Structures are given as C-alpha cells and as structure tokens.
Amino acid sequence: MKGQPTSDVIEHIRDIPIYQESLAKGHFPLLDKPEIARGFPDNWMTPRLAAALETGEAEFVLSTGTNHARMQIIRPPYFLLRSYYELWRNHPDIGETWESGCRRVSLTTVLATEHVARVNAARRGVEHKGIPILADRWLDERTCYVNLRLDPAQWVRKDVLRMLREIDLARSTHPQGRYHLDCSAYHLAHLVRKAEAWGLLDAFPAPASIIHAYEYTPVNVRRFLRRRFACPVIDLFGSTELGYLYYSDREGRYWPHLDGMSVELLPVTPGSTIHQLIVTSVRNPYMPLVRYRSGDCVRTRDGSPDPAAITQFCGRQKELLGTPNGPVAQGDLDRHIADASPRIFLHQLRLQGDADATLSYTTFTDEPLGAAEAVALRQSITELTGRNCRIEHRTHIPIGRSGKYIWLVSAGT
C-alpha cells in the first residue's frame, strides 16, 4: 500500500509503544506532532532507549520553532550537526572545503548562539550567564557562532567589526586562509549591507563556500548573495527531528539525501500543486518516525507528487494563506515579489479582516520602489491573494522572537 512502511522499517519500530496499534491493524496513518507529544516520553520508551538515555547516547531536545510550538524529541547528541557535516563532506560543489579543514563560521539567530553557550557551560558544570565570549561560542573544533543580537538590522558598527574580526580569526587558522560560512541568508545579507555602508568590505574575508540552512530564503536574497560572493552558495533543507533531507547544487537544483528515509508528497488540498512533506525515517534510531507530517510544503517541476522533482521548499503548512483560487504558500508570494523588483529585501503581508491586506517591504538600498513598480506589485499581490492590497515601504521590519522573519501576520498573531 502506498506510503506504508517496509519490512525493514517495521523491524526498527516493532517494540515502540506509539506504533503498537498501527502494527496490530497493519496500517499506519499520518503521524502528527500532537500525537508524538501525547504521553511523551513513555509512548516512545523501550529498554534500548532507556539504556541510551542513561549512558548519554540519547538526549532530550526541543525542535526549532518560528511562530509555532516547539516539540520535545529524543535523538543522539549532535544529530543535526552530524547530518550537516555529512552533507558538507559529500557535497559535489563544496566537499573540498570540508576536506581541506575549513572552519565553519555560523552567522544565524542569537538563539543558536546562546544554545551553544549553554551547552559549553553545562560541560563545565556551570550555568550560562551574560554575553558569551568567543571561547564559549565554539560548538566543536570546526564550528563557532558569531551573532549576539536578536535583530541583525540593529547591528551597530562595533558589532560588525567584532564579527569580521572573529571570522578572520577562524580563517587565519587555515593553511590557505579559507573558511566555510554557515548562515541564515537574511543575516548574511544584513552583514554585507552593513559592511558596505560603513566601508568595511575590505575587512570581510571572502568565504570558500556558503551554506544557508535555517529558514526559507527569498529569491531576491539568494540573488543578492550570489552576486556578491564568488563561491558556491548552497541551500540545505531539514529539521531538528529529521536531520537534512535535501541539498541544492550551486545552480539551485535540489537533490535528495534520504539515507534511512523515504518521502511521500500529498496535496495540501484536493487538486492543489502545493504538496505536504510526509517522511518515514529510521535515521534517528531512538525515535524513528513513520509517515511523519513534517509541516513543510513543496512545489515540484510539474505539479506531480514526485519527491525527485522538488524545485522549491515553499513554506509551512500552518502558514498557508487561503484564497478564492486555493492555498498560497510563502514561496508563491515571494515569487511575485521577486518578479516585481529585484530591489526588495524583506517583506511581510499583514491581513486585515476578510478582504484587505498590507504588504510592507524594505529594499536593499532603503529607497522605495518607483511608482510604476509599486502599482504593478500591488496589482500582482491583489490578484494572488484575492484581497485588496496596499503597498507600504519601510526602512525596518522587525525580526520575530525566534530570530526568524515572519512573512504572514493575521489578526491575533
């Protein structure tokens, strides 16, 4: 039966409590986050897992969240990091930067930086307090974190100089002065713009490779980075609970990395060409997931449910916007914005009642769109959403509490 687990997967889950009813019925329904959390951790507990928790081979962590509740999971230590390193090591465009010993400088959310500082403090048997020094921001011998502010738009010159010095320090340990830059694409774009504005580009060491892997990257932001960096700029798609599932090449085409996994694509609504991602994975031996609804949405080359034909990871299912013409994803709005003007940097759609919306945007130059561009954008977004849309230029759109940008705001958000 389509989507049902293979005999190999069945062997991995045979003694896990959460799957006993499905095993007895011979049918596995979709597995949602509330079901995973119900009765946690007893619904996952086996003698093997209990022993692994006792020895430290397994640990409790929280999944990452932007606007939604975080989920407690169990996984091996450094599960996501090891998945990242494996893809970096084997990537056809940038594997040589791993092999040459490039250090990884991570420019992402301040929450990630603080997590590393807490981990290092726990290793020393103390509690993390205050602003972490650089020594406390090294996750391992390869990776350090440099961002210390929630909103990168509020970095001051002192912040930028410190980060550029720390990047240079990581680079200077390599025999050829090379390093790998791991980032949220938004954060890197902010850093480039700040360095340009303050005449600091000469102090910004050119990376040997770049991966952005933390959230949806708009078309215009990706264009901006590719114009400014000569090295490959690679996207990874994954999650805390699954590891990484897909990677892009330097041309932006996506390729599967499904070791220990299989993927189904199901339409989010009947007839929709937006598909939800359903994953079966035994990659995490302590919490194998069968037909897990990850909450992510994709588009494929031809609108078919072919996991090998994915061309875009277009947003989260909970953030789909219902319209008279069917659901609209974050990537759909982004495509219209990129078609209207390559100068738009950040954007946020705010819904007002049932019929209106305001699109706020910033540009890479801080200058508003011209009148003709603004009219065309307003008409395009009105047609896409089925709402009367207003266009509003801003010089600042605040970042969310998670350190990620919120693209859609409705009443009560």
Q: Where in the chain is the domain with CATH 3.30.300.30?
A: 319-407
Buried b (16+ CB within 10 A) or exposed e, 20-47: eebbeeeebeebebeebeeebbeebbee
Q: Would you state the pLDDT for residue 71?
A: 82
Mean per-residue pLDDT, 180-194: 98
413 neighbors 380 (Cβ within 8 angstroms): no
Cα(351)–Cα(140) distance, rounded to whole angstroms? 43
Work out the end-to-end distance of the chain between its first and last CA atoms, rounded to an integer number of angstroms: 40
Question: pTM for this one?
Answer: 0.95
Strand pairing category for 72-75 and 59-62: antiparallel
In whole numbers, what is the pLDDT of the chain averaged over residues? 95
> Over the stretch 88-127, which tens digit does the pLDDT of each residue have?
999 999 999 999 999 999 999 999 999 999 989 988 888 8
Cα angle value 41/238/313 (rounded, 5°): 130
* φ/ψ of residue 311, rounded to 5: -115, -15
Q: Assign domain 319-407 to its CATH superfamily.
A: ANL, C-terminal domain (3.30.300.30)
Of 79, 84, 78, 82, nearest to 247 (Cα)? 84
Cα 217 → chain centroid:
8
Does residue 410 carry a pLDDT above 50?
Answer: yes
Residue 123 has what pLDDT? 87
* Tens digits of residue pLDDT in 80-94: 999 999 999 999 999
Assess contact for 390 and 396: CB atoms under 8 A: no
Cα distance between residue 330 and residue 352, in whole Å = 18
pLDDT in tens, 359-372: 999 999 999 999 99
Whether the per-residue pLDDT at 344 is higher than 80: the answer is: yes
